[in-house]
Amino acid sequence: MSDDIHIRREGKAGRITLTRPKALNALSYDMAMAIDRALIDWASDDAVALVLLDAEGEKAFCAGGDVRGLYDRGIAGDLDYARTFWRDEYRMNARMAEYGKPIVAFMQGFVMGGGVGIGCHASHRVVGETTRMAMPECGIGLIPDVGGSLLLARAPGRLGEYLALTTDRMDAPDAIRAGFADHYLPEGGWDALKSALVETGDLSRITAATETAPAARLAAEQNRIDRIFATPVLPAIIAALEAEDGDFADATLAAIRRNSPISMAATLLMLAELRRSAAGIREALQLEYRFTARSMTGGDFLEGIRAQLVDRDRTPKWKHGLGALEAEASAMIAPLEQELTF
């Protein structure tokens, strides 16, 4: 068993604990595959009433995938490694979303990217006072993936577009309101709830323990978000923000201007398509894979990782400007010769 993840049977639960807190529990390929194998094993195990997913450390449940490894292989010319990583990770995400037994996820601290993929497709999602959740992929030349596009498409109004293009971080109340989480419980009560679930397998213990979440910060901006992000055309969104007065519009515009134009344009098309077709998890992951499979050659992924994680100069040189990119974005999510299969 890897030192990065602890998988075991305990009482009536199958337990998965991420155990690399110094790396903010970033999800490696081996960790993702260990989760997948455990889910397969427990699906037919009558002794496992539920799956309990958590992580060590106070700072993060999982701050994302181990993208630096993808960069190192990609910059050396190995594109197949990243495609294999994403393909197999997405299959695991689909398994979690479609799992026949309850999965209870406890998500503290940073929950981003790959962390959303393993925590937010669970059937019962618990968050607390330190939770900070986001889909930051447009800032590194990707698109919201691991099924995150589906969650964003199902968020109220155009909140999904706002969260994707700004990479804004949600606290627990906003995560619940956006559909990324279900239950609020101050983290001092988590151990007792976990123990009760392990001992009894009784999901009613969750609702009995959890509390009403505080007010959601972004609820007050919903009408403005819906109006500004009503179109799936990036230049029109920017123009609407430029015409808007106030700190919210200024901060939103500044955030969008930092991120990859092709990633944002493709994200807008994806969310519109997922919402229009009432798609499910597999359709969302298929769209995501089409982009990520092309992201090192046609997108900004390598440059985004260089700027954010390698050189850390925070000045990426994106391939495109903030103009009309519908044709280029459509090409990034067009069918592949080798599509994702489940």
Q: Annotated catalytic sites, by residue? A: 65, 114, 137, 145
Distances (CA, A) of 322 to 41, 138, 260: 47, 13, 9
Q: What is the CA radius of gyration of the chain?
A: 19
* Contact criterion met (CB below 8 Å) for 159 and 222: yes
State the Cα–Cα distance between residues 277 and 149, nearest whole angstrom: 13
State the Cα–Cα distance between residues 342 and 23, nearest whole angstrom: 30
State the Cα–Cα distance between residues 162 and 180, nearest whole angstrom: 15
* Contact criterion met (CB below 8 Å) for 206 and 104: yes
Q: What angle, rounded to 10 degrees, do the helices at 80-97 and 67-75 form? A: 150
Edge-to-edge strand order for the sheet containing 132-134? 60-62, 110-112, 132-134
Would you state the structure tokens that stand for residue 24, as one six-digit string? Answer: 């903010």
Would you state the structure tokens that stand for residue 57, as one six-digit string? Answer: 């450390």
Give every CB contact of residue 245 below 8 A, 6+ residues apart in sequence: none
Distances (CA, A) of 92 to 95, 179, 262, 274: 5, 20, 27, 20
